[in-house]
Amino acid sequence: MAHTSLNITLVQTDIHWEDKQANLQKYEQMIAGIAGKKEVVVLPEMFATGFTMNTATMAETMDGATVQWMKDISKHHRCILTGSAIIEEGGKYYNRMLWVQPDGNIGMYDKRHLFAYGDEDQHFTSGNKRLICSVKGFRICLMVCYDLRFPVWARNANDDYDVLIYVANWPERRSLAWKTLLQARAIENMSYVVGVNRVGTDAKDLTYSGDSSAFGPLGEVLWQHSGTEAVHTITLDKEHLTSTRQHLPFLNDADKFIIVD
């Protein structure tokens, strides 16, 4: 019996500040250059604009050009494309992570924890529902940047998921927290964890070191890259995850709770 595997490609890149056309053209070239089978391709948080609070100018609806671009790329390459963008809906703005499938179906996760230190809570509306997607027998939970600091929200209390994906614009000055917390989420949830961050310097003079990473269910480092742009594909093994959880059934002993707003 063949092992069930899943390719996830991490795209760590610099982001042109508030220049959607330049960014989308760049991603198009990077995605076209991915070697091997494309299955899930992960872009950073606010991949089309950078981490801007200029919602009035930068926001789009779900019928806008950025979402359409994602649908076109996903269909053309027959892969799932994910990352977050600024979406306007019902007069509110969301930092929305999109899970775009080749058939045009889209899953949506609105960032739960808004970064008040950067005034994100003054411009965006918080989400209140997790999203767990399925592909090739893997259940994948989507998270955005600051969510990483809040383990309760990501808790795999009922064996809900197999892979946890974070997309981010996480500054270099707090890179230790980024790398440490990604690894901790893998260990405590006995899950694969993938974190995709940007590099470069933005218009606010914040520098980003990337440190995009992938960890196994025991916290083992599968891949990590700092400082420069990179495109890297990791292959996840479902049987390895299952056997690890069976051999070390730590999730069975977890505290049971519900989240109340």
- Which CATH number is 71's domain given? 3.60.110.10
Confidence of residue 1 (pLDDT cuts 50, 70, 90): very low
Q: Tokens 């595997």 appear where? A: 5
Residues 83, 81: Cα–Cα separation, whole Å: 7
Indicate whether 162 belongs to any domain: yes
**How much is the average pLDDT of 29-54?**
97
Angle, to 10 degrees, between the axis of helix 65-77 and the axis of helix 20-32? 10
**How much is the average pLDDT of 4-19?**
98
Using an 8 Å Cβ cutoff, are 28 and 65 in contact? Answer: no
What percentage of the chain carries pLDDT values higher than 90?
95
Indicate whether 216 belongs to any domain: yes
**Quick one: which of 216, 6, 33, 45 has its CA closest to 146?**
45
Indicate whether 258 belongs to any domain: no
Indicate whether 260 belongs to any domain: no
Indicate whether 261 belongs to any domain: no
Number of structural domains, the chain? Answer: 1
Identify the pLDDT of residue 237: 98
Q: Rounded to whole angstroms, what are the CA distances from 214 to 78, 135, 137, 184?
A: 23, 18, 19, 12
Q: Which domain holds residue 59?
A: 5-253
Indicate whether 47 belongs to any domain: yes
Per-residue pLDDT for 224 more than 70?
yes
Residues belonging to the active site: 45, 111, 145
Indicate whether 193 belongs to any domain: yes
Q: What is the mean pLDDT of the chain?
A: 97
Using an 8 Å Cβ cutoff, are 60 and 87 in contact? Answer: yes
Is this structure's pTM higher than 0.75?
Answer: yes
Indicate whether 259 belongs to any domain: no
